[in-house]
Amino acid sequence: MTSGRKIYIIGFMGSGKSTTGRKLASLLGWSFIDLDRSIEKKSGKKIPLIFAEDGEAYFRKMESELLRDPPPISDSVISTGGGTPCHSGNMDYMLSSGLTVYLKLTPFQLRSRLVHSATERPLIKGLDIESVLTFIENKLAERESWYEQADITIDGFDTDVGSLHKLIKSRLNIS
């Protein structure tokens, strides 16, 4: 049985990976997989609870396992977590098994999206607005080298999914 084509949507938390991935999958007529939702389904816990009870190392291990297994049979758009590319050889895996799309935003753009959902996001829970910005700047600096390896980098602040759809169809020779 042959596995399907894969497009991985990567970027920092709050960059719009799930929203963009869902819209792109719909335009392509492909299935959509949200890696974070898959982790929650398999574990029976929400992401913040996994971090609180089991720790980030456990979460990252589960994330890497679900990224690779089982491989989607149908063509799929996969929205990853913000840290997915930075752990366990995941970026190399994604680059070798599909097309990667990086939704790039500035730290200020990310803060404007994240400040209202800080209680839902384990890595910024309890931080004030300035601390959120400092966290984003530092974490983005750590992760940028992985994100920049993506096959396609687009503006994640005002993503034109229609243009991305056309670009991907061209890259993958889809009529």
Question: Which residues have CB under 8 Å from 77's CB, separation 6+?
Answer: 6, 7, 9, 21, 22, 24, 25, 28, 30, 31, 32, 33
Question: pTM, whole model, 2 decimals?
Answer: 0.92
The position carrying tokens 């700047």 is: 137
Q: Looking at domain 6-164, does it have CATH number 3.40.50.150?
A: no
- Domain ranges (residues) in the chain: 6-164
pLDDT digits (tens, 9 = 90+) for 14-56: 999 999 999 999 999 999 999 999 999 999 999 889 988 999 8
The position carrying tokens 């404007």 is: 112
User: Is the model's pLDDT at 96 over the cut of 80?
Assistant: yes
Across 118-139, average pLDDT: 83
pLDDT digits (tens, 9 = 90+) for 155-174: 998 889 999 999 999 999 88
Please choose, from the candidates 14, 1, 63, 8, the residue with its C-alpha nearest in 3D space to the C-alpha of residue 30. 8
Average pLDDT, rounded, for the chain: 91
